[in-house]
A and B are shown apart, each in its own frame.
Chain A
Amino acid sequence: MASKAVYLHRDPMLKKRDDFEDILEERRRSSDLRYALRCYTPLLYKGLTPFRADELKTMVLQSDQLQYVINQVSKQTSVTADEVEAEAAAILEEMAHHLQISTIRFFAFVLSKVFKTLFRSVCVNEEGVQRLQQAIQEHPVVLLPSHRSYMDFLLMSYILYTYDLPLPVIAAGMDFMGMKIVGEMLRMSGAFFIRRSFGGDKLYWAVFSEYVRVMVKIGFAPVEFFLEGTRSRTAKSLTPKLGLLNIVMEPFLKGELFDVSLVPVSISYERVLEEVLYARELLGVPKPKESTSGLFKARKVLSEDYGSIHVYFGQPVSVRSLAEGRVNRSQFNLMPRHIPRKPGEEVQSFVNDSAYRLVRAQEENMVLKPWVLLAVLLLQDQAAGDGRGTSLDELTERAVWLRDLCRQFGAFLHWPDHMIPSQVVSSSLSLHRGLVRISEGRVQLALDQAGAEARRPLGAATPEEELLNRAVIVLSCASYRNQALHVFIRPALLASAIQTASSNQKQDVYNSFSFLRNMFSNEFILSPGAAVQDFEEACYLLVKSGALQINQQEVLVTETGQKTLTFLTSSLDPFLQGYQMVCRFLCEEASEGLTEKRFVPAIRKFIVQHLLTGRLRHAEVLSSDLQKNALAALLRLGAVRKLRGRGEEQLEVNKVMVNSLEDTLGGNLPTQKAVVARL
């Protein structure tokens, strides 16, 4: 069942994708002012009854759902219903957007200028835009862009304005509200603000969910939010958050709408504005609070070349077809629909699977630039190498090999075939000259010049500081490599499984695969419960590329396949080693009273030691993202537990289990069976 939803067995090479148009081209030719003031008459949802933003608020406050919760809260807290309603109104006030076309016009003007300075092009698949336009008229639409940059949602609104589509209302994190003017500007351009956490606040949840639901139900405007919940600092897709998806699907599931269209949108940046910021953040340099002045300091950013952006509007996904045969909608028949109810298991797993499917759809339509492939190779060389770098010729040759492999795996690779490969390589490198160093025809990561500017003017940096500076470069580079990981992840898991499995029996390989997949399912987008499909997909790809032969019983590596497998296992290497490090830390160093909050600084110290002593080569392991994912996996598997004590929750480590997981990750076989059994 899930297999149908997640993976269709068809040749990825045949995946048809639309062509792109550069929307900046027109901007470079005609007046931005006229563009910002032009007549804007989008085609709207056919079932729309027009409402003003304030009418919308009244509708929300008056809705059966919200009234029900207001009365409930009032009874439970013995505060009068009127007061609770006033509180609800205040929440709504804080939350609600104030979409105004004038603000959009302002942004249209400013962004035109900004985009033209920053980017070479902003490319959009116009067929996707047309599909979207169609979808908007048919059913309420939910836009689901990938999230890599602050830029994302302004960019989305800008594009929709450009194509005369209705402007979206956007669920944004509260952190923007810190920036007074900008916050209000964003509100007027359609953003509505949600607190980052509102735990058990029933009223808040009720207001928020009803607000979104009403907008979906009446088709007020396309609702936009980020499935990943926050910007991915690593350029890997994040495990989807389900709250909002649940809310926007509900009107369909409860029969209040015939259908809802979900439109995954993939936004790929050739260079992310936040590149270095992210790396610092992952290394524990605290994230600058998003203040207005901070944003304006970013003016320096304006002087750089960020290449191009590709925005791909995916195929609209009908919630109705997703739910077909998955959700029995009559489960809502026996209770009034306005009484809030936790979604049942069936609905939860449906929403979860859908979310994964949508994130995968985002991944599939992410444009990969040749540089991404170079980043893959340079990082591998750096970890393995002698510090001498790779010769340009060799790099080019391997890049071409990798290009072909990628294509076989169905990647959406923008490799300019009209250019000779060496040219492609050198022009890619030049856009990222902050990250690479080329000397005497050899290329490597620019580790030694790293932090040159940050280095204290007086006195040498400590070894640790030097290490962190190098790690900034490594992580920045990794964020490019990560863009391509979704292409390789399943074959890479299979390659590693083959390496660690006790035999080449298909069943053994599958067991190893399934173990690794389970282990890494907080790290990569791997739909829960789809182990078999993922295995089949991986087998299919590797057989097709000639690396494997698989018969009834056995999985055999072909002569030429070894190269592919080695490549694939190395790409997983930093993660394997990282997870092992986390395990080792927990076994060796975790003391009484370790909390989740103290976990990251503590393990960072541990890893720094290992890196400095040369016992660990992958500086990437310093990424707090990886560390947290590993911990989440261990928690999920029950190897670590959270203990409720006084104050913060403490982490209780099951050392036997963690130890055996570490062994198994390291390809140490004997304990594997026991662990797999326990999983």
Chain B
Amino acid sequence: MASNSSDRQRVAQHRLRIITGHLQRPADGDADIQAAECKAQETKPNVASSEGRTMPRRRQEIMKWNGWGYSDSKFLYNKKGQAEFTGKRYKLSGLIIPALKDWMEGTFGASLQHKTPATPILNTSAVQPPTLNEAFVDEIKSTGIPFSHDPEDRVFRAHGHCLHEIFALREGKIGRVPDMVIWPSCHNDVVKIVELACKHNVCLIPFGGGTSVSSALECPPEETRTIVSLDTSQMNRILWIDEKNLTAHVEAGIIGQDLERLLNESGYCTGHEPDSMEFSSLGGWVATRASGMKKNIYGNIEDLVVHVKMVTPRGVIEKGCQGPRMSTGPDIHHFIMGSEGTLGVVTEVTMKIRPIPEYQKYGSVVFPNFEQGVACLREVARQRCAPASIRLMDNEQFQFGHALKPQVSSIFTSFLDGLKKFYITKFKGFDSNRLCVATLLFEGDREKVLQHEKQVYDIAAKFGGLAAGEDNGQRGYMLTFVIAYLRDLGMDYYVIGESFETSVPWDRVLDICRNVKARIVRECKDKGVQFPPLSTCRVTQTYDAGACVYFYFAFNYRGLSDPVHVYEQVEHAAREEILANGGSLSHHHGVGKLRKEWMRETVSDVGLGMIKSVKDYVDPNNIFGNRNLL
């Protein structure tokens, strides 16, 4: 139960403002999308929330069918040719972004004259009629669990957010989609569904938030059985909070923003904040081994999970206690985490929670060049004093950040303005074409945050870093939520792109950044891309032994007959380059189907065999047939 202490309430309010700061209004909750009491639920959940959940069963009510995020929020060029972000949800909403046009034209050679608009509405006649296993459908009906074979519902669950997936939708091209969608509202519903699926041999694909970027949600085209998308979004309650042990037991379909908001009401948080947290789900995080921005304080998903329940064709797998650490043979959680929906459905998770931090402070540091920045991050990691988040952007991203500066708004004033610009570029001899910026987020009690902040800035100074203000840092983090929207704007004007990530030992960070960026440029040229691509990176996480590196890559595809194919070839080459330079196949996006060709070299033959034999035991008939990983 939420504490009544008004102090806590206050902190919670404060936190709500900051963390979900991109949301200006509470989400449009409305009573009838709220989860109905699960009929099978024996104990009454002791955490009830007054607020509704963000995600309705019919996602199309609030989300785009062929782009990122909420239907009401998007970038567009207005009649004056100025970029603008619509809607009311985000801080950037309703604002003009004057520099974006020049940046897009300058960086990509894009032009407002050359438009590639998306198909406006989903043509449902293009959707294959469902192949339904009648016996299965009949039995499901009798359970009373809601389901649908409406084409829109099915198309919504046939994809994640890879470039090729969204590109196809924009062109109105629709491939294999699930034959039906089903919405369990609790663990027991899932048990029934899985039993019936096994009985009737239908294929189940768990669907959480749909933010996958690894082709994990794509239906295997060769699948001939009925494909059922098991949408967990209505399993979204916090079942209990244990303040003595600081854990919360939560249904796996809850999406990040709801989880944080509800916990915040009780004065807690998980601290798990992947950039996709507005839409991605707890079950999805577990299934993909997700990583949140603030892992330095709270840990990645594998550090946060205390107990997991997963329904498999063999039955339910879970541990018998909630001991914080066990030596009981291989940790079965590690069969579950990263299983990417191939073994079963994660239904409930006990997760660590923390009191909401008293104080948060953003910050930023400018370095004369990327090399110095990396050296600084390495030192910060060596001293194990990384703030909640520390990210280092290369020069291209730094410039990009500037292009996203909206007109008049105090929080967006840039340090490059006026005197400061003069100071940095002239006095300190920083070259604005080489400098790069790190954004920081500190959390904790005030005293310690300030101390911590000083420690980090002192280290930065040793590497030529110059404190560049709180606003700049905050803006950086805020932008991570709107950047996903930007790709849709690019696609309106012949620009396609994507991000991908890796983890790599410290001594290779610079090499991998340089080589992968250069490889992208070279491949684009070789593949006939007519304009120089945007090829940029940032270091987004630090570890004792290495870092997570994120690459962004986009190009103007005018003049190419099959841009997606070119795009895929370049991304493939970039991944090869990553592996050749000692990077991992993935730090957190997972493997899905997009990267599974490299699994063998990633985990060795024996490793692959182990994974396979687990699959064979748990799911011999391949009910969970999304064909990820293996």
Q: Which residues of A contact B (CB under 8 A)?
A: 255-256, 258-259, 328-330, 332-333, 336-337
Contacts and interface: CB of A to CB of B under 8 A. Distances in A.
Q: Which 10 A-B pairs have the closest CB atoms?
A: A329-B580, A333-B582, A255-B581, A258-B518, A255-B511, A258-B515, A330-B580, A330-B579, A256-B511, A255-B515
Contacts of A258: 514-515, 518-519
B378 to A, nearest CB: 14
B514 A330 contact: no
Contacts of B580: 255, 328-330
B582 A330 contact: yes
B593 interface: no
B582 A255 contact: yes
A297 to B, nearest CB: 52
B581 A329 contact: yes
A256 B580 CA distance: 11
Interface in B520-564: none
A656 B518 CA distance: 58
Nearest to B516: A258
Contacts of A333: 582
A255 B519 contact: no
A332 B581 CA distance: 8
B405 to A, nearest CB: 30
Contacts of B515: 255, 258
A549 to B, nearest CB: 41
Contacts of B601: 330
Interface string B577-601: 0011110000000000000000001
Interface string B256-283: 0000000000000000000000000000
A45 to B, nearest CB: 14
24 contacts: A255-B508, A255-B511, A255-B512, A255-B515, A255-B580, A255-B581, A255-B582, A256-B511, A258-B514, A258-B515, A258-B518, A258-B519, A259-B518, A328-B580, A329-B580, A329-B581, A330-B579, A330-B580, A330-B582, A330-B601, A332-B582, A333-B582, A336-B507, A337-B507
Contacts of B579: 330
B460 to A, nearest CB: 21
A332 B508 CA distance: 11
Nearest to B510: A256
Contacts of B518: 258-259
A337 B512 CA distance: 14
Contacts of A259: 518
Interface of B: 507-508, 511-512, 514-515, 518-519, 579-582, 601
Q: Which of A259, A333, A336: most chain B Cβ within 10 A? A: A333
Nearest to A253: B580
A230 B272 CA distance: 64
A319 to B, nearest CB: 13
Nearest to A323: B580
Contacts of A336: 507
Contacts of B512: 255
A312 B597 CA distance: 44
A255 B508 CA distance: 8
Contacts of A255: 508, 511-512, 515, 580-582
A59 to B, nearest CB: 15
Nearest to B508: A255
A258 B518 CA distance: 7
Contacts of A337: 507
A329 B577 CA distance: 9
A337 B507 CA distance: 9
A334 to B, nearest CB: 9
Contacts of A256: 511
Q: Which of B507, B512, B519, B580: most chain A Cβ within 10 A? A: B580
A3 B322 CA distance: 62
A355 to B, nearest CB: 22
Nearest to B369: A49
A258 B574 CA distance: 13
A350 to B, nearest CB: 14
Nearest to A331: B580
Contacts of B581: 255, 329
A330 B512 CA distance: 12
A333 B512 CA distance: 12
A304 to B, nearest CB: 50
Contacts of A329: 580-581
Contacts of A328: 580
A403 to B, nearest CB: 40
Given A255-B580, A336-B507, 15 more contacts: A255-B508, A255-B515, A255-B581, A255-B582, A256-B511, A258-B514, A259-B518, A328-B580, A329-B580, A329-B581, A330-B580, A330-B601, A332-B582, A333-B582, A337-B507
B182 to A, nearest CB: 43
A255 B512 CA distance: 7
Nearest to B583: A333
Nearest to A258: B518
A330 B507 CA distance: 15
B506 to A, nearest CB: 11
Contacts of B511: 255-256
A30 B581 CA distance: 52
A178 to B, nearest CB: 41
Contacts of A330: 579-580, 582, 601
B505 to A, nearest CB: 9
B524 to A, nearest CB: 14
A333 B580 CA distance: 8
Nearest to B511: A255
Nearest to B518: A258
A336 B507 CA distance: 9
B496 to A, nearest CB: 24
Contacts of B519: 258
A238 to B, nearest CB: 33
Q: Which of B507, B511, B512: most chain A Cβ within 10 A? A: B511
A316 to B, nearest CB: 14
A256 B514 CA distance: 9
A337 B582 CA distance: 11
A336 B579 CA distance: 16
A487 to B, nearest CB: 33
A320 to B, nearest CB: 9
A526 to B, nearest CB: 31
Nearest to B601: A330
B435 to A, nearest CB: 16
A337 B515 CA distance: 16
A336 B545 CA distance: 12
B276 to A, nearest CB: 29
Nearest to A324: B576
A332 B601 CA distance: 14
A192 to B, nearest CB: 26
A427 to B, nearest CB: 48
B427 to A, nearest CB: 22
A330 B580 CA distance: 4
B509 to A, nearest CB: 11
Contacts of B508: 255
A595 B223 CA distance: 73
A273 B515 CA distance: 45
A259 B518 CA distance: 10
B56 to A, nearest CB: 46
A95 B111 CA distance: 57
A328 B601 CA distance: 11
A65 to B, nearest CB: 12
A672 B519 CA distance: 51
A259 B580 CA distance: 13
A328 B581 CA distance: 10
A336 B581 CA distance: 12
Contacts of A332: 582
B581 to A, nearest CB: 4
A329 B581 CA distance: 7
A412 to B, nearest CB: 29
A258 B511 CA distance: 8
A41 to B, nearest CB: 21
B391 to A, nearest CB: 23
A332 B582 CA distance: 8
